[in-house]
Structures are given as structure tokens and as C-alpha cells.
Amino acid sequence: MRIDIVTIFPEFFDVLDLSLLGKARQSGLIELGVHNLRDHTHDRHHSVDDTPYGGGAGMVMKPEPWGDALDSILGDGAGARTTDGAGTTDGGVTHEDGPILIFPSPAGDQFSQAMARELSLEKHLVFGCGRYEGIDQRVVDHYEARGRVRLVSLGDYVLNGGEVAVMAMIEAIGRLIPGVVGNPESLVEESHEDGLLEYPSYTKPASWRGLDVPPVLLSGNHGAISTWRRQQQIERTERVRPDLVTPHLLPPANAKTTTS
Ligand code: 6GU
């Protein structure tokens, strides 16, 4: 997968050299380009923002540097176009093959594990990190008319800019790309993958500060262990995130816990 990021703080993304995603870059599974928006300004002060039309607090990011930066990544003509004739010719029609342009925004669709999975199948993601009160709306409108564009929010709270949100999205998406996480089985039993929160985990020692590991986990009875873990997932999800519990995911009525 190719990932491009446009930002006024390219250093934010230095940490993508580290850990699993850093390895994925070294091995070529992920190709990353971080672009400084200020490199696409043409005035002496490299300004990227200006006062809002209609008044109000804060500053708005100017459209020209964004257009310049995004054209240089997407190609002048449009951005998200196929060349095989399957999708579009000159009309700038949306289709499924070109890059997806993602603007992190508290006004966007909420990011989720399902969205991360969907995006992990893409060949090219382009993230545009806004700061201040946002980017001139015409930037979104322009690229929406030429390809796939999404506004994506991390959740119902406000960040100072899109950088931290994009970092979270890239981590969630990147680890779903085959080969990035060493043991793909570890992806299966995680929170949100099956619509439930994950079960609690334990390691040695069997007793620590008077707290014992649940005996079933030491029993060697694999059936009992998976029943217990499923039950823990359900109990935890009902307690912490009742909004996630959907009846069809609950175990059959005859399933019951076999421990303590
Ligand atoms: Cl994606 N951006 C900003 N600036 N704030 C947010 C967000 C994104 N998601 C939640 N809050």
C-alpha cells in the first residue's frame, strides 16, 4: 500500500519509522510519503491560512497550497482515475480503482474497525491534515468531483488538527495489511473484530499479589477455555459497551460457563 500525508507538521510522522509499521516500510509492504504543505506556498511568508469569509473566530486553511500539494500527489487531471476504461474517461467520475483522499475531520464519518478493514484493501491512501478551523470547503468539493474523498472523524471530541487522528488511522489500517503483523491469528481475537470486546489475558506467575489466574486457564481443557473466554467477552461488552451487543452474536442458549 502507498500512503501519502500532507501536513504542516511533517515531523509528527517521524514515529512511523518505529515498531511494526517501521518494519513494514523497510520490507516494502507500506510505502510512505510525507509532504510539507508549506512547500506548496508561493508567497514570501509561506502562509497556509487566512481569515474566514463571513467573519468568526480562527483561521481557515487556504485552498491554493492544498490544490498544489494534492495535484502533485494525485496527478493534475484529477486524482482518482482508472486508465483501463472500466471506470471513467474525462468526466472525473468516481470509481473504485484510484486513490482515496481522506480528510480527518470531527465533522466526518466515525472511524471504526470495519472502516480500517475496508481501507486496508486499498492500494493508495492520501491523508490531508487540516489545522486551525479547517480547510476551505472548495478543496473537498473540487476533489469530490474528481475521485473518492472521505471525511473521517476519530470520535466525538476535538483535536487541534488532523495529525494525531491520521496517525491512529494509519496504525489501525496498517496492521491489517497482510504481513505487517507477524502472527495473523493475533488479529482475530481482538476487540471489535467479532463485534465484542476482547477477553482478559493472563501470563505467569499463576499468583501475583494475592490475585490468582482464573483456574480454567490452567486446566488444559481447551473447550472450557474457549467457552470461558467467550463468556468473558460477552459480560465485558454488556457491562462496558452495551451499545455493541447484538443478539445474533450471543452464544446458543445451551452454552454455559464451566468454571469456578
Ligand atoms: Cl479526525 N480531527 C480533528 N481535528 N479533531 C478530531 C478528529 C479529527 N476526530 C475527532 N476529533
Please state, rounded to an integer, the average pLDDT across all residues of the chain. Answer: 90
Nearest ligand 1 atom to the CA of 156 is 10
End residue of a domain, out of 132, 166, 183: 183
The 8-class DSSP code of residue 251 comes to P
Total domain count, the chain: 2
154 labelled as ligand-binding? yes
Query: Looking at the structure, do residues 153 and 110 belong to the same domain, yes or no?
Result: yes
| Mutation probe of ligand 1 site: the residue of 60, 158, 167, 171 with most atoms within 8 A of C-beta | 158
Residues within a 6 A CB radius of ligand 1: 104-106, 152-155, 157-159, 161-162, 165
For the cut 50, the answer to whether the pLDDT of residue 14 exceeds it is yes
Query: Looking at the structure, do residues 115 and 197 belong to the same domain, yes or no?
Result: no
pLDDT at site 247: 67
Alpha-carbon distances of 36 from 121, 129, 158, 165, rounded to whole Å: 26, 10, 23, 17
159 labelled as ligand-binding? yes
pLDDT at site 88: 44
Mean of pLDDT values over 211-235: 98
pLDDT at site 183: 87
Q: What percent of the chain has pLDDT over 70?
A: 87
Rounded to the nearest whole angstrom, what is the distance from the C-alpha of residue 127 to the centroid of ligand 1? Answer: 13
End residue of a domain, out of 136, 166, 183: 183
For the cut 80, the answer to whether the pLDDT of residue 86 exceeds it is no
Which residue range(s) make up the domain with 207? 189-244
Between residues 97 and 53, the one the model is more confident about: 53
Asked whether residue 105 is domain-assigned, the answer is yes
pLDDT at site 91: 42
Rounded to the nearest whole angstrom, what is the distance from the C-alpha of residue 254 to the centroid of ligand 1? Answer: 44
As a whole number of angstroms, the distance between CA 167 and CA 22 comes to 13
156 labelled as ligand-binding? yes
Mean of pLDDT values over 16-42: 95
pLDDT at site 22: 93
| Mutation probe of ligand 1 site: the residue of 9, 101, 102, 105 with most atoms within 8 A of C-beta | 105
Asked whether residue 258 is domain-assigned, the answer is no
Query: Looking at the structure, do residues 160 and 221 belong to the same domain, yes or no?
Result: no
Between residues 22 and 76, the one the model is more confident about: 22
Query: Looking at the structure, do residues 176 and 199 belong to the same domain, yes or no?
Result: no
Looking up residue 229, the CATH number of its domain turns out to be 1.10.1270.20
Look at the block and give the residue holding cell 473447550. Answer: 223
As a whole number of angstroms, the distance between CA 209 and CA 166 comes to 40
Rounded to the nearest whole angstrom, what is the distance from the C-alpha of residue 154 to the centroid of ligand 1? Answer: 6
pLDDT at site 249: 60
244 labelled as ligand-binding? no
pLDDT at site 255: 53
Mean of pLDDT values over 170-192: 91
pLDDT at site 129: 98
Query: Looking at the structure, do residues 172 and 224 belong to the same domain, yes or no?
Result: no
As a whole number of angstroms, the distance between CA 8 and CA 163 comes to 9
Give pLDDT tens digits for 117-163. 999 999 999 999 998 889 999 999 999 999 999 999 999 999 999 99
Most confident of 89-98, 173-182, 251-260: 173-182
Rounded to the nearest whole angstrom, what is the distance from the C-alpha of residue 7 to the centroid of ligand 1? Answer: 14
Between residues 127 and 252, the one the model is more confident about: 127
For the cut 70, the answer to whether the pLDDT of residue 50 exceeds it is yes
